[in-house]
A and B are shown apart, each in its own frame.
Chain A
Amino acid sequence: MNSAGKLRSYIVCGVCLLGILLAAPNILPVSFLNKLPSWFPKDIIYLGLDLSGGSHLLMEVDIDYADQERLSQVAQEIRQTLRKSGVGFSDLPHTVKLGDKVLKFRLNDPTQAAQAHSVLSSVDHDSSVSINGENVEITHTDASKQVMYREIVDKSIEIIRRRIDASGTREPVITRQGADRILVQIPGVQDPARVKALIGRTAKLTFRLVEASAPELSSRPTTSAIGTGYQYLPHADGSGYIAIKNQAMVGGDMLTDARQEYDEFNRSQVSFKFNNIGAKRFAKVTRENVGKRFAIVLDGKVISAPVIQEAITGGSGRITSSHFSAQEASDLALLLRAGALPAPLKAVEERTVGPGLGADSIKAGTVATIIAIVFVALFMILVYGWFGVIASIAVVFNIVLLIAALSCLQATLTLPGIAGIALTVGMAVDANVLINERIREELRSGAKPRQAVDAGYQRAFSSILDSNLTTLFGTACLYVFGSGSIRGFAVTLSLGILASMFTAITLTRLIVDHWYLKGSRQQNIAF
C-alpha cells in the first residue's frame, strides 16, 4: 500500500473515532462526563421543545394598535403645530379609532393649503400629506410602517427578555420571526399560562386625572355621549366605567422601581418610585389638583382612582386594589420594572408539550431507529453476505457520525428529525447497494475480486454523487424556506446524507481492502 493510501486510511479511521468521541456524551451519564477533563467535548444533541417539553409561543404585534398609537401622537402634534402657526382647522379627531389608517380633518380656510402643507410635512417625516381643497388626509408610508414594526419588535424582544429573566425562567429563546412576530421558546415550563400572561400584557401604566363633570356609568357608554378630551374607561374590577382625561400626567416609563408589598391589613400592594422628572411632575400635578380624583390606568383599565389628599412630593407611591393577590401584585411589579411593551402582543400560536410526552417520543424514536438498524442490517446480510456485514457497519457509523454532527453543531433535533434519522437508516445503504450491485456485475462478467471491487467503487461513484447531491439540494431548500420543525428535519436529513456518502464510500472501502480481500478471497469471493 502506498503512503497516500495509508494517509487516507488514517483519516477515515480518525473521522470515525472522532465521531464516536463526539457522539458519546449523549449516552454517557452526566456524573461521568463531569469527571472528564475540560477539553473533552461534552455537547449533547439539542432537543427541540417537542422532545424536551416546554412552551412555544408565537406572538404577533397588534398592528392596528401600533397604527392607532402613532396616528394619535401625530394628531396631537398637528393640533399644537397648526395652532402655533395660526392655521385654522376643524374635525381633527381627539381619539383615533382602532384600525384607522388615515387621519382626516378640514382646513377652515382652503387658501392656507400651501402653508398647512409645509407645516404638516415638518410634523412627521414619514407621513404623506395630501390636501384637496379644505380636506386634509395624512397617511403613513408602507416603508415607514415596516420600520416602525421592526422597532416595536426589537423593543418588545428586549422587554420580553427582561420579564422572563425576572420571572426566574431559565434559557428562554426569543427570536424575531418575519416582520411583526416574535417567537418565544421556553424549555421545561410547568405553567405556560403564567408566562403568557407575563409576555402578553402590555403593562402600560399612566396616571391621569378623572373628568369630574362626567358621571360614572354602570355600563359602556355610547360613543355619542363622550365629550372632548376624555374617554370612558372600565374599572379593572368590572364595577363600571369612569371618565378619564386623555392626557397622561405621568407614565410608567418614569418609574425607576416597583415592588410588591403588604399594607397594614396584610393586603398586597405595589409600591413604586419615580425618577427625577417623574417625581417633579407627579408633585406638580398633585399640588395643583388637591381634592380631585387621580386615576391609575393600566392597559386601558382603571385600577384605582383615589382623591388627592395633598401634594405627593416624595417621588414614590403605591398602587392598591381591593382584589390584588400576592401573585398578581408581584407580577405587576415585575412588569412595571421591566417596562411596557410598545404595542400589545397577541399569541397567534401556542404549543406546550409536557415533559412526559417528549421523553416518550425520544424513547419511541430511539427504539424504532435501533430496530430499523437491526432489520436493515439483517436484510443486507441476507442479500450480500459479508458485504452486507460491511454495509451494516457503515450504517452504524453513519448514525454515530450523524449524532456527532448534531451534537457539535448544536442543531435542534425535533420529532420529524427522529423520523429523518430512521429514514437515513433506510437510505444509508443505498450507496452500498449501488456499489455491491456493481461489484456483482463485474464479477459476473469475469473480473477478479480486486478488479471487481475497484471497478465497483469507481463506477458507482458518479451515481452516488449525482443522486445524493440532487437530494441535498432539495433538503437545503427545506432549510432555507422552512421554519421550526421543517428546518430540524432538513438539517438531520442533510447531515445524514453527507455522513452516508462518507461511510459508504470510504469506510466500507477500507474494510473491504484491509480485512475482506485477504488470503483466498483475493482469488474468489462468494457474492
Chain B
Amino acid sequence: MNLILIPHDTKIGFIKSRFITFAIFGLLALVSVLSLTIRGVNYGIDFKGGYLLEVRSHEKPDIGAMRENLSKLDFGSVTLQGLGSGNDVLIRISDTGLSSPKDREAMLGKIKSALGDIEYRRVESVGPQIGQELVTDGIYAGIVSLLLILIYIWFRFEWQFAVCGILSLLNDGLATLGFYGIFHSFEFNTNALIAILTVMGYSINDAVVIFDRIRENMRKLNNKNLTEIIDKSINETLSRTILTSATTVLALLILYLFGGEVIASFSMPILFGIVVGTFSSICLAAPMLIYTGAEKVIKSGETAGTFN
C-alpha cells in the first residue's frame, strides 16, 4: 500500500478561488515591501564592512564578559551569539567608518587582545566598498537569468507563459527578500543572494512543469475553455508538485538541522522561498494565464511544439 499525499482525481477550482489566492500573494508582497522599506535587512559584513569572528574556547565561554570587553572598544555594534557545540561564539562587529585598511587591522588586533587566549576558527574582515559591488553583481546575475528564462519559455511555449512565469518568479524572489526583512536574525550576506537566486530557479522549474501540462492539454482538449484547461492541468500535476516540494523541503530541513551554523542560516530562507514558490506556481503563475489572452492561442492551435 503506497502513501498517497494527494489523491489523483482532485478537482480543486484554482481559477474560481484566484481572487483569494491573489489577495494572499498581494498581502505577502505588501508585507515584504513594507518590511524592506521600514526595517530593511540586516546586512552582514559582506555588505557593510566589519568583522566576523568565530571563536572556540576550551571551557564554556562567558559571553557576557566577552561582550563587555568588546564594547569597551567603542564600536558601532557588537553582537555575540553562542553556537551549537556550546564552546563556540560567533562575534559580529560592524565597521563604524573604519575605512582605511590600516585602521581595520589595528582594530582587529584590539579585538583579539580583548578576547584573550582563544582559538580563532574563522576571522573575516571586509572593507565597506565590497558590498556595493556584490549587490550590483547579484542584480546583474538576476536580470540576465530572468531574460534568458523569459526567452527560453517564450520560444518553447508562448510569450504569455513567459510573462506569467517571470511575474511569479519575481513574487517568490521578493518574498524571500522579505523574509530577510522580517527575520533580522538571518543576516543578509553573499549567501542570501545565492538563496534568492536559488529560490527563483526552483520556482520557475516548478511553474514550467505546470505550463507544460497546460500546453499539452491545450492541444489535446481544444473544445474546452482556458479556465477548465488550467484547472485540469494544475490538478493533474498537483501530486507531482507537492511531492517534489516535499522532498526538497525535507532535504533542506535536514540541511538546516544538521548542516552547521552557516549552512543553517542559508537553508532556512531557501526553505521558505520554496514553499512560497510551490504555492505561487500553483495559485499564481498558472491562474494568471487567463488574463494574458492565451485563450486565443488555443483557438488558433498555434502552441509551440514539444520534443515528443
Residue numbers of A with Cβ under 8 A of B are 58, 192, 196, 200, 346-354, 356-357, 360-361, 364-365, 367-368, 371-372, 375-376, 379-380, 382-385, 415-416, 418-419, 422-423, 425-427, 429-430, 433-434, 437, 440-441, 444, 458-459, 461-463, 465-471, 473-478, 480-486, 489, 493, 527
Contact = CB atoms under 8 A, between A and B. Distances in A.
Contact of B129 (A348, A364, A437, A486): A348
Interface string B227-252: 00000000011011001101111111
Contact of A489 (B3, B126, B194, B255): B194
A422 B264 CA distance: 12
Smallest CB-CB A-B distances: 6 pairs: A426-B251, A426-B248, A477-B145, A481-B141, A364-B260, A357-B121
B258 A371 contact: yes
A477 B144 contact: yes
A486 B190 contact: yes
B124 A383 contact: no
29 contacts: A348-B126, A351-B124, A357-B121, A357-B122, A368-B255, A368-B257, A368-B258, A372-B251, A372-B254, A376-B247, A376-B251, A379-B246, A415-B262, A415-B263, A416-B266, A422-B259, A425-B251, A430-B247, A463-B209, A463-B213, A466-B209, A467-B206, A470-B149, A474-B145, A475-B201, A477-B148, A481-B144, A482-B138, A493-B201
Which has the most chain B C-beta neighbours within 10 Å: A372, A474, A481, A489? Answer: A474
B126 A350 contact: yes
A153 B164 CA distance: 46
Given A474-B204, A493-B198, 14 more contacts: A346-B127, A350-B123, A357-B121, A357-B122, A364-B260, A375-B250, A376-B247, A383-B5, A418-B259, A433-B240, A467-B212, A470-B205, A474-B148, A485-B190
Which has the most chain A C-beta neighbours within 10 Å: B124, B148, B243? Answer: B243
Contact of A58 (B120, B130, B205, B216): B130
Given A350-B124, A354-B120, A423-B248, A364 B258 contact: yes
Contacts of B130: 58, 348-349
Contacts of B48: none
A306 to B, nearest CB: 29
Interface string B100-130: 1110010000000000000111111111011
A348 B128 CA distance: 8
A349 B125 contact: yes
A354 B247 contact: no
A382 B246 CA distance: 13
B2 A382 contact: yes
B212 A478 contact: no
A265 B24 CA distance: 82
B169 to A, nearest CB: 9
Given A350-B124, A477-B148, A471 B254 contact: no
Contacts of A375: 250-251, 254
Nearest to A177: B133
Which has the most chain B C-beta neighbours within 10 Å: A371, A434, A461, A466? Answer: A466
Contact of A383 (B2, B191, B267): B2
Nearest to A383: B3
B209 A467 contact: yes
Task: Give chain B's interface secondary structure class.
Answer: helix
A354 B119 contact: yes
A476 to B, nearest CB: 8
A437 B260 CA distance: 35
A352 to B, nearest CB: 5
Contact of B212 (A353, A384, A466): A466
A160 to B, nearest CB: 16
B201 A372 contact: no
B197 interface: yes
A360 B264 CA distance: 14
A361 B262 contact: yes
B244 A433 contact: yes
Contact of B204 (A376, A459, A471): A471
A318 B255 CA distance: 60
A346 B101 contact: yes
A473 B152 contact: yes
Nearest to A391: B247
B141 A478 contact: yes
Contacts of A486: 137, 141, 190, 193-194
B259 to A, nearest CB: 4
A200 B125 CA distance: 15
A384 B254 contact: no
A352 B123 contact: yes
B158 to A, nearest CB: 13
B270 interface: yes
Contact of B202 (A379, A444, A471): A471
Given A437-B240, A471-B202, A481-B144, A422 B252 contact: yes
B259 A364 contact: yes
Contact of A444 (B8, B124, B140, B211): B8
Contact of B308 (A58, A461, A483, A484): A461
B185 interface: no
B200 interface: yes
Given A379-B246, A463-B209, A353 B156 contact: no
Nearest to A388: B2
A416 B121 contact: no
B101 A474 contact: no
B252 A441 contact: no
B307 interface: yes
B54 interface: yes
A432 to B, nearest CB: 9
B244 A429 contact: yes
A241 B153 CA distance: 70
Contacts of A376: 247, 250-251
A242 B120 CA distance: 41
A466 B251 contact: no
A347 B101 contact: yes
Contacts of A429: 243-244, 247
Given A349-B130, A364-B263, A423 B209 contact: no
B213 A383 contact: no
A433 B254 contact: no
A27 to B, nearest CB: 19
A356 B121 contact: yes
Nearest to A376: B247
Contacts of A196: 105
Contacts of B212: 462-463, 466-467
Which has the most chain B C-beta neighbours within 10 Å: A196, A461, A477? Answer: A477
A165 to B, nearest CB: 24
Nearest to A367: B258
A470 B208 contact: yes
Given A383-B243, A434-B240, A467-B212, A357 B54 contact: yes
Interface in B30-82: 54, 56
A485 B250 contact: no
Contacts of B252: 422-423, 426
